Amino acid sequence: MALNSKIPEGPIKDKWTDYKNHINLVNPANKRHIDIIVVGTGLAGGSAAATLAELGYNVKAFAYQDSPRRAHSIAAQGGINAAKNYQGDGDSTYRLFYDTVKGGDYRSREANVYRLAEVSANIIDQCVAQGVPFARDYGGLLDNRSFGGVLVSRTFYAKGQTGQQLLLGAYSAMNRQIARGKIEMFNRHEMLDVVKVNGKARGIIARNLVTGEIERHSAHAVVIASGGYGNVYYLSTNAMGSNATAAWKIHKKGAFFANPCFTQIHPTCIPRSGDYQSKLTLMSESLRNDGRIWVPKHIEDAKALQQRKMKPTDIPEENRDYFLERRYPAFGNLVPRDVASRAAKERCDAGFGVNATGEAVYLDFASSIERYGKTQAKIQNLENPSKEKIYDLGKAIVEEKYGNLFQMYEKIVDEDPYKTPMMIYPATHYTMGGIWVDYNLMTTVDGLYCIGEANFSEHGANRLGASALMQGLADGYFVLPYTIGDYLSNEIRTGKIPTNTPEFDEAENDVKERLNFFINNKGEHSVDYYHKKLGKIMWDKVGMSRNEQGLKEAMAEIKELREDFWKNVKVPGKLNEMNPELEKAGRVADFLELGELFAKDALHRNESCGGHFREESVEIDGEQKGEAKRNDKEYAYVAAWEYKGEPSAAVLHKEVLEFKDIELKQRSYK
Amino acid sequence: MSGFFKSSIGRKVAMALSAFFLMIFLIMHVSVNLLSVFSENAFNTASHFMGTNWLVQFIMQPILIFGVVFHFVMGFVLEVKNKKARDIAYVKNNGAANSTWMSRNMIYSGLVILAFIVLHFIDFWFPELNYKYIVGNPEDPTRYFHELQEKFVHIWRVAAYIIAFILLGLHLAHGFTSAFQSLGITAGRKKTLQSIGKAYAILIPLGFIFIALYHHFNH
Amino acid sequence: MNLTLKIWRQEDSKSKGRMVDYKVTEISEHMSFLEMMDVLNEQLVNKGEDPVAFDHDCREGICGMCSMYINGEAHGPDRGVTTCQLHMRMFKDGDTITIEPFRATAFPVIKDLVVDRSAFERIQQAGGYISVNTSGNTQDANSIPISKHAADEAMDAATCIGCGACVATCKNSSAMLFVGAKVSQYALLPQGQVEAADRVRNMVAQMDLEGFGNCTNTGACEIECPKGISLENIARMNRELMKASI
């Protein structure tokens, strides 16, 4: 089967408009006879459900949490990009498009990214109309910030809780439709399979997580908006419940999975403190504007820090290695996420880590505090201010900018980051890879759509800050509602989809069989035992830095672990009750398959690009020696994998990426 | 509007309005009584006016009684409803960690005040009604001061009054600012309001206590 | 450290619950409270017992899912944190910790420490939105300037995470802080003015219908709120409802 991305013809700036002008529409009177299932209610799913309902379709929305408002989009801190050019600093749709493609290391589809940039401005208008309290300046107009990897200020924000406010906006739009009866909301429900009838997605099998009941739901189209698969690493900045089950189930039913190895490791997270650690907490990228990253120059100092025999403040300036400033003098501490993460790992692997686990580097605000303090002293006309005065003045500025983050850090680590440098370490944060979709956001299964982080998306091999929120809302509010109409215009005569058909029977039986197995298996290890083991394999061998041998080992180890899981997993409790262990078992079972495909994809892509770093593909000499080396000749394509019974047997399909509007260049931050 | 007073917020607004009325009444009451400390004549004049003026007797007095009864009944109704809002109690609850004793125990301070009012009616109001309207004695404008003094001869009564006034103070310590908050009046005035509330909650009961003690030791 | 846990166990919404004692050992002070619960559950699973069900998700204090009443306080003894952000360093070796679900008639227990907070959903559905189509064909975002002060205040109200700690804490199980925060967010913004009167009336009516208690202004909710939502929001809601009713 050849992949058809269905990109419209014509110049890039007209594609979306022309496309919208020519697609088929569904008459309003017919929309009320058409049902759509939306799985996941984060930014993408929530905005899609609300908009589809508003258009007149009957929407059934599913969330595993007790409310759509809990989806993990809520945790996004920094902001949302939009090419509004309110600051008059030269921003434009083209620039946002260009930055996103370049930031993604030229592994995304031009037409999709351009469309994203095009609708980005609408998102801000929409959210303000919904009552999202974005930050404003004293004139009452919207304020912007700047984020890594770009030269303009285009990031809109609501304190450090932009994701929360945008999600609550989408949630409010959903609530309006729930109240009107146009959305039927299924909270505490988990989708456990998709049902295909004559090759088309026609429904899902879901488990009511309160009663344990298995339910059938039918629809004319199914939309998957279930987020990313970062929890394949066990430890990540994702929520505990974030999972890949919905995405993996549709993959097994025919939806291709694209670029699974493109995963973003975020450099500024609070380090792991012990084996009991259940999740990692992100500290906003914005901290790197003022914090300087360092480790000791001498290994003895690092050892002393690891054994807590020394404090960071005991190490004099000349014995510190500001490794990002040293390696990347042009961008310094503001290099993109993937570069910063790898540099930190390199230092820690060499033994220079600064905490007990040896997996942490410092993010130091002392020099910013001093610099701000001196500026403030000048502004206030203070002559010969004392050191303490300068510190106090500077601290006030830093507090104003990052107060809530510093407080969050202090609550978790129990150290005052104003006095002693923060400790940070990279952690899995976002997955650029995901279900392959065409220009319409439809997967390789008819009537089955995938939006938001769950699809392979517009971020290529690396996502820029503040772009995830943009993509989720663009897909849900402004793209899918159009493109799905084109498909559904052929469904107006279909009528209600019955659920008492053999296809539903079969899917339900498969689901029940698997759940029964878990409950009845008399194993000896908990689900978490396997999840932790999988996470360790993934982190060690399919983490920030990958090589052929490690990846092959990882594939073998994951397979072995999976086989052991199916023999020895232990799930307590009953089927027909709230059973969190049973929920986890199903999710981990899917991660155990996805992890292997992930490693396989990483193994096949013998180039370094974006979040994917292959030790075999580095610059050998010259100024860029040791840096990632992309291979456009052989790998400028999307790797879409077709399921063939075993992850290792997956078949590769290539969607070759054509770059007509952007010239491919090497990313250099030296 | 009728819907408003059936809503939870409407009810607390009604509670607050009756509270305001009663708090104004308390200021008047303590002011008149304080006259007894300074001048027997002034007190008698004021009391005579209050006891015989038809506006006070037949308009203000019924309104006041209605206000008292309304505040109590509404207080009980809300208490019962609020209790029902938590069907299973906590095994361990640390209320002191986040609220004052006064705010959590308005119903109990209120009950003590209710008991006091009963006593107070037996002491003053029923004899007064009896004197004026049942037996129909001729009005003696100089009788009030002595009636007042007599009541505070016994130490037990003084003690009961003092306890009741302390509870009144505790009730007011929360009630004063609470009434403002219920009416939506806090913006930017919180600190000032709290100070005024504190002063009010201390001075009014203190005034009554002072009067009781003064007459106990000076008869 | 070693701890004794007294935990509310209840099989489902229909069963009667009871407090059960558990012991956990070798708890690190760096653990979060929920990681301590993970240790307990791992222990129970390995023994073949039913682990304690509790709601949790983001574990970084923003999703509002976690909901435990710890030693008599919603989200435990620390301030400005949710249960998932509470750390074991707040406790001492040998402590006994009492863990109960958020209690309110309007929040029935589903299992163990998991409660049903769908009453909040229905209140939001009654009017917690601005009736604007999601087409994006609205006016430009900067066409109505909003004072920074109002925008910031609206943001402060909007930071509510809907966890229900206010209800759990309130001696009357009142939901006024939650509802007040939502009413305030929209009341402070020009976009919310058009439907302001209907919104507050409908949301308050739904709140009353759900069986939450009345506010007696103890202020406990504001103190226990992990996001520090101010009591001023309740005052504003009272004003809004009075305005809407006159």
Virtual CA dihedral for C236, C238, C243, C245, nearest 10 degrees? 160
pLDDT at A523 over 90: yes
Chain A residues within an 8 Å CB radius of C62: 74-75, 161, 164
Q: What is the pLDDT of residue A465?
A: 87
Q: Which residues, at least 6 apart from A564, have a Cβ–Cβ distance to it below 8 Å?
A: A530
Of A122-136, A403-417, B200-214, C142-156, the poorest mean pLDDT is in A403-417
Chain C residue with the nearest C-alpha to that of B75: C216
DSSP C210: T
**With contact defined as beta carbons under 8 Å apart, do C234 and C210 qualify?**
no
Q: What is the pLDDT of residue A668?
A: 76
Whether residues C102 and C45 share a domain: the answer is yes
Whether residues C123 and C238 share a domain: the answer is yes
Contact C173 B3 (CB under 8 A): no
Q: Report, as an integer, the average pLDDT of A52-76.
A: 97
Whether residues C107 and C205 share a domain: the answer is no
Measured on CA atoms in the order C17, C21, C23, C24, is the torsion positive or negative?
A: positive
Rounded CA-CA distance C166/C219 in Å is: 10
Rounded CA-CA distance C73/C63 in Å is: 19
State the first-to-last Cα distance of chain C, in angstroms, to the nearest integer: 60
Q: Which of B88, B104, B109, B174 to mutate to test the interface with C (most CBs of C within 10 A)?
A: B88
**With contact defined as beta carbons under 8 Å apart, do C178 and C164 qualify?**
yes
Q: Out of A50, A75, A175, whose CB is closest to C124?
A: A175
Contact C58 A187 (CB under 8 A): no
Q: Residue A212, Cβ neighbours under 10 Å: how many?
A: 17
pLDDT at B187 over 70: no
Q: What is the pLDDT of residue A117?
A: 98
Strand A292-296 vs strand A361-364: parallel, antiparallel, or unpaired?
A: antiparallel
Provide the mean pLDDT of chain B: 93
Q: How close A449 gets to chain C, by Cα (Å)?
A: 20
CB within 8 Å of chain A, chain C residues 37-96: 38-39, 42, 44-46, 48-51, 53, 55-65, 78, 80-81, 85, 87, 89
Contact B82 C220 (CB under 8 A): no
Chain C residues within an 8 Å CB radius of A131: 129-130, 154, 185-186, 189, 191-192
Chain C residues within an 8 Å CB radius of A482: none
Whether residues C18 and C86 share a domain: the answer is yes
**With contact defined as beta carbons under 8 Å apart, do A643 and A251 qualify?**
yes
**With contact defined as beta carbons under 8 Å apart, do A65 and A74 qualify?**
no
What are the structure tokens assigned to A77, written together? 């801190």
Q: Report, as an integer, the average pLDDT of A134-149.
A: 88
Query: Residue A468, CB half-sphere, CA atoms under 13 Å: how many?
Result: 26
Q: At A301, which amino acid appears?
A: D
Share of chain B above pLDDT 70, in %: 98
DSSP per-residue letters across A264-292: EEEEEEPPP-STT-----B--GGGGGT-E
Q: What is the pLDDT of residue A622?
A: 86
Q: What is the pLDDT of residue A401?
A: 80
Q: How close C52 gets to chain A, by Cα (Å)?
A: 9
pLDDT at C182 over 80: yes
Q: What is the pLDDT of residue A336?
A: 83
Q: What is the pLDDT of residues A245-279, one digit of tens each?
A: 999 999 999 999 999 999 999 999 999 988 899 99
Contact A274 C44 (CB under 8 A): no
Q: Out of C32, C63, C186, whose CB is closest to A131?
A: C186
State the first-to-last Cα distance of chain B, in angstroms, to the nearest integer: 53
Report helix, strand or coil for A454.
helix
pLDDT at C137 over 80: no
What are the structure tokens assigned to C143, written together? 């066409």
Q: How far is CA C215 from CA A591, B78, B104, C177, C235, in A?
A: 47, 10, 11, 9, 11
Whether residues C88 and C126 share a domain: the answer is no
Measured on CA atoms in the order A311, A317, A318, A322, is the torsion positive or negative?
A: positive
Q: Out of A47, A75, A142, whose CB is closest to C141?
A: A142
Q: What is the pLDDT of residue B1?
A: 59
pLDDT band at residue A145, thresholds of 50, 70 and 90?
confident
Q: Out of B8, B178, B186, whose CB is closest to C232?
A: B186
Residue C192 lies in a domain: yes
pLDDT at A400 over 90: no
Query: Can you give the length of chain A in residues?
Result: 670
Whether residues C66 and C103 share a domain: the answer is yes
Whether residues C78 and C196 share a domain: the answer is no
Report helix, strand or coil for A416.
coil
Residue C138 lies in a domain: no
**With contact defined as beta carbons under 8 Å apart, do A239 and A533 qualify?**
no
What are the structure tokens assigned to A107, written together? 């592994």
pLDDT at B199 over 80: yes
Chain B residue with the nearest C-alpha to that of C73: B94
Instruction: Name the residue among A317, A309, A292, A313 with its Cα closest to residue A419.
Output: A313
Q: Report, as an integer, the average pLDDT of A495-522.
A: 97
CA-angle at A521, arms to A519 and A526, nearest 5° = 80
Q: How close C242 gets to chain A, by Cα (Å)?
A: 23
> What fold characterizes domain A502-632?
Methane Monooxygenase Hydroxylase; Chain G, domain 1 (1.20.58)
* Between A289 and A460, the higher pLDDT residue: A460
Q: What is the pLDDT of residue A165?
A: 97
Binding partners of A (≥3 Cβ pairs within 8 A) = C
Q: Which of C28, C63, C123, C189 to mutate to test the interface with A (most CBs of A within 10 A)?
A: C63
**With contact defined as beta carbons under 8 Å apart, do A202 and A503 qualify?**
yes
Whether residues C80 and C196 share a domain: the answer is no
Per the structure, the count of domains in chain C is 2
In the block, which residue shows the tokens 């958020």? C102
Report helix, strand or coil for C101.
strand
Whether residues C94 and C149 share a domain: the answer is no
Q: Which residues, at least 6 apart from A11, have a Cβ–Cβ distance to it below 8 Å?
A: none
Contact A66 C191 (CB under 8 A): no
Contact A140 C63 (CB under 8 A): no
Whether residues C62 and C181 share a domain: the answer is no
Chain C residues within an 8 Å CB radius of B173: none
B vs C, Cβ pairs < 8 A, gives 143
Q: At B162, which amino acid appears?
A: I
Q: Do chains B and C touch (3 or more CB pairs under 8 A)?
A: yes
Task: Note the ipTM here.
Answer: 0.98
Query: Can you give the length of chain B in residues?
Result: 219
Chain C residues within an 8 Å CB radius of B185: 235
Chain B residues within an 8 Å CB radius of C218: 98-100, 103-104, 174
Binding partners of B (≥3 Cβ pairs within 8 A) = C
Q: Which residues, at least 6 apart from C35, have a Cβ–Cβ distance to it below 8 Å?
A: A276, A277, A278
Strand A183-186 vs strand A189-197: parallel, antiparallel, or unpaired?
A: unpaired
**With contact defined as beta carbons under 8 Å apart, do A435 and A39 qualify?**
no
Chain A residues within an 8 Å CB radius of C159: 159, 161, 164
Share of chain A above pLDDT 90, in %: 89
Q: Residue A185, Cβ neighbours under 10 Å: how many?
A: 21
Q: How close B170 gets to chain C, by Cα (Å)?
A: 13
What are the structure tokens assigned to A666, written together? 């090497």
In the block, which residue shows the tokens 């380090």? A271
Measured on CA atoms in the order A338, A344, A350, A351, is the torsion positive or negative?
A: negative
Q: How close B26 gets to chain C, by Cα (Å)?
A: 22
Q: Report, as an integer, the average pLDDT of A468-489.
A: 97
pLDDT band at residue B128, thresholds of 50, 70 and 90?
confident
Q: Residue C149 belongs to a domain with what CATH number?
A: 1.10.1060.10
Rounded CA-CA distance A616/A435 in Å is: 27
Q: What is the pLDDT of residues A538-588, one digit of tens each?
A: 999 999 999 999 999 999 999 999 999 999 999 999 999 999 999 999 999
Domain positions in chain B are 2-85+103-217
What are the structure tokens assigned to B181, written together? 């908050």
Q: Residue C90 belongs to a domain with what CATH number?
A: 3.10.20.30
Q: Where are the alpha helices (DSSP H) in chain C?
A: 33-46, 118-125, 148-158, 165-169, 176-187, 196-209, 220-224, 232-245
Q: Which residues, at least 6 apart from A647, have a Cβ–Cβ distance to it below 8 Å?
A: A559, A593, A594, A596, A597, A600
Contact C214 B12 (CB under 8 A): yes
Q: How close C198 gets to chain A, by Cα (Å)?
A: 14
Contact A274 C28 (CB under 8 A): yes
Q: How close C99 gets to chain B, by Cα (Å)?
A: 9
Chain C residues within an 8 Å CB radius of A51: 134-135
Q: What is the pLDDT of residue A619?
A: 92
Domain that holds residue C81: 3-111
Contact C55 A185 (CB under 8 A): no
What are the structure tokens assigned to A592, written together? 């155990």
CATH 1.20.58.100 residue spans of chain A = 502-632
Q: Where are the alpha helices (DSSP H) in A144-266?
A: 162-179, 245-252
Beta bridge partners of B3: none
Contact A172 C35 (CB under 8 A): no
Chain C residues within an 8 Å CB radius of B7: 204-205, 208, 241
Q: Report, as an integer, the average pLDDT of A74-84.
A: 93
Q: Which of C218, C221, C229, C242 to mutate to test the interface with B (most CBs of B within 10 A)?
A: C218
Whether residues C165 and C80 share a domain: the answer is no
Q: Residue A148, Cβ neighbours under 10 Å: how many?
A: 21
Contact C216 B88 (CB under 8 A): no
Q: How close A187 gets to chain C, by Cα (Å)?
A: 9
Share of chain C above pLDDT 90, in %: 97
Chain A residues within an 8 Å CB radius of C60: 75, 237, 279, 281-282, 408
Rounded CA-CA distance A209/A213 in Å is: 8
Q: What is the pLDDT of residue B85?
A: 97
Q: How close C4 gets to chain B, by Cα (Å)?
A: 15
Rounded CA-CA distance B209/B167 in Å is: 12
Query: Cβ of C194 under 8 Å from any chain A Cβ?
Result: no
pLDDT band at residue A324, thresholds of 50, 70 and 90?
very high
State the first-to-last Cα distance of chain A, in angstroms, to the nearest integer: 43
> What is the CATH code for A268-428?
3.90.700.10
Q: Where are the alpha helices (DSSP H) in A523-579?
A: 527-541, 548-568
Contact B12 C224 (CB under 8 A): no
Query: Cβ of C209 under 8 Å from any chain A Cβ?
Result: no
**With contact defined as beta carbons under 8 Å apart, do B34 and B207 qualify?**
yes
Rounded CA-CA distance B106/B83 in Å is: 13
Q: Which residues, at least 6 apart from B125, have a Cβ–Cβ distance to it below 8 Å?
A: none
Q: What is the pLDDT of residue A325?
A: 94
**With contact defined as beta carbons under 8 Å apart, do A86 and A142 qualify?**
yes
Of A24-28, A113-117, A206-210, the poorest mean pLDDT is in A24-28
CA-angle at B147, arms to B144 and B150, nearest 5° = 150
Chain C residues within an 8 Å CB radius of A135: 151, 155
Chain C residue with the nearest C-alpha to that of B185: C235
Beta bridge partners of A142: A136
